Amino acid sequence: MRLTDNETFPLCLRTMSDLQSDFEAAQANAKLLSKRPDNPTLLKIYALYKQATDGDNTEKKPAFSDFVARAKWDAWAALKGQSADTAMRQYIELIDALRANA
């Protein structure tokens, strides 16, 4: 195998451009899952995506009565301080695991 082949490197050792490509592929794969993940998993997917793309949550906290928006906000806020690279890696790993278990 060639050294530039992504399959030869663990996810944690790939370059930023490789990581970005893998993240984009995982986004596409997330839309192709054969079954819908449960709500806690969907919240984790959402939070990791937002942390990877937007960084720490600086949005205004939604009203308590808006359950869905509040759950999404809380899930994203729980990742405060996590780097975008780490969130991307976790997102990729989660989508890969969901695809493998489908």
pLDDT in tens, 32-71: 999 999 999 999 999 999 999 999 999 999 999 999 999 9
CATH code linked to domain 38-102:
1.20.80.10
Long-range contacts formed by 51-60: CB under 8 A, 24+ apart: 51/76, 51/79, 51/82, 51/84, 51/87, 52/23, 52/84, 52/87, 52/88, 52/91, 53/84, 55/84, 56/80, 56/81
Q: What pLDDT, in 10s, does the model give residues 13-30?
A: 556 789 999 999 999 999
Report which of 100, 43, 101 is spatially closest to residue 77, judged by C-alpha positions. Answer: 43
| pTM for the structure as a whole | 0.83
Domain spans, the chain: 38-102
